[in-house]
Amino acid sequence: MDPEERRLRVHELRVEILLQVGSGLASTIRFSPRSTYPTLDNTVAMRVVMERERLDACRILFDDSEETELERCRGSWRPAMSSLAGETGRRPDVDAAAELFERHVLPMQRAVKTRKKYCTAWRAVCTWALSQGALGQILPMTQKALHAFMRDALSFQCTLPVVSEFLKAIQARHKHFRFGSPIGRTGTTRDTCTASAGSRVVSGDLCTPYTETLWCGSCASRVPHTERALGSRVDA
């Protein structure tokens, strides 16, 4: 994407967000400089809207990117579990025990490095949703919201690895909170990436279908030769 075109698109996204949250939060609307898709570097504006709309910010903005207490204990599980319980010797009730499990045990399904990448990708989803007034449609995510976000990501010429990261982050968030994945209902991550690779992004418009086959994830890959639109080879 041409730098001037990108600058205008990012400004447009900023205006859309300000229309949702009000000019009083203008100072909080800052985008991460390293993100292909414009991504807010904080959650202040999102939390304001979620509180106003009575959305579950604890789940939508749940951040498991840092080491959990059980990962930091380096094998000393007993004192770590005692400290998490709050009162040594007293068992937590069902709700408290479930919350502790979700926060300190479930995240360990993935490495910290992977969780950091997924949290960054999920924040991009939240940034898009905030700009569209769609924060209430992303967890669980509707198919319409998924397709709309994917179209917007492609319009910013996100590469196939970036698109794949978005999809994996969406799936991980739904799995963590036991929601059915919108990707699972429409096809696998690979299928969705294949559909995304079926078009080229030129100046924000989708056009000119590719004819080569795309495989992503852990499979061997082939991508279109015109890599300037969707990025480099996706290796196994």
pLDDT value at residue 42: 95
Please give the structure tokens belonging to residue 114: 């992977």
In the block, which residue shows the tokens 């967890």?
139
Express each pLDDT in 18-43 by its tens digit.
Answer: 999 999 999 999 999 989 999 999 99
Write phi, then psi, for 80 (nearest 5 degrees).
-65, -45
Q: 39 to each of 50, 87, 106, how far by Cα in Å? A: 17, 40, 26
For residues 148 and 73, which has the higher predicted lDDT (pLDDT)?
148
Dist. CA 114–CA 119, nearest whole Å: 9
206 touches 199 (CB < 8 A): yes
Dist. CA 135–CA 120, nearest whole Å: 16
Residue 183 pLDDT greater than 80, yes or no:
yes
Helix (H) or strand (E) holding 207: strand 205-207
Percentage of the chain exceeding pLDDT 90: 52
pLDDT value at residue 102: 80
Please give the structure tokens belonging to residue 160: 């196939």
Residue 40 CB-half CA count within 13 A: 25
Helices (H) and strands (E) in the chain, counts: 12, 2
pLDDT confidence of 7, banded at 50, 70, 90? very high
pTM: 0.74
Residues 99-111: what's their mean pLDDT? 82
13 touches 156 (CB < 8 A): no
Name the burial class of residue 139, with classes exposed (0-12), middle (13-18) and buried (19+) by CB atoms within 10 angstroms of its CB: buried
Residue 3 pLDDT greater than 60, yes or no:
yes
Residues 43-69: what's their mean pLDDT? 93
Which of 24, 53, 16, 51 has the alpha carbon at shortest distance from 127?
16
For residues 145 and 184, which has the higher predicted lDDT (pLDDT)?
145
Residue 209 pLDDT greater than 70, yes or no:
no
Q: Where are the alpha helices (DSSP H) in 25-159?
A: 44-53, 57-60, 69-72, 77-85, 94-104, 112-132, 143-155
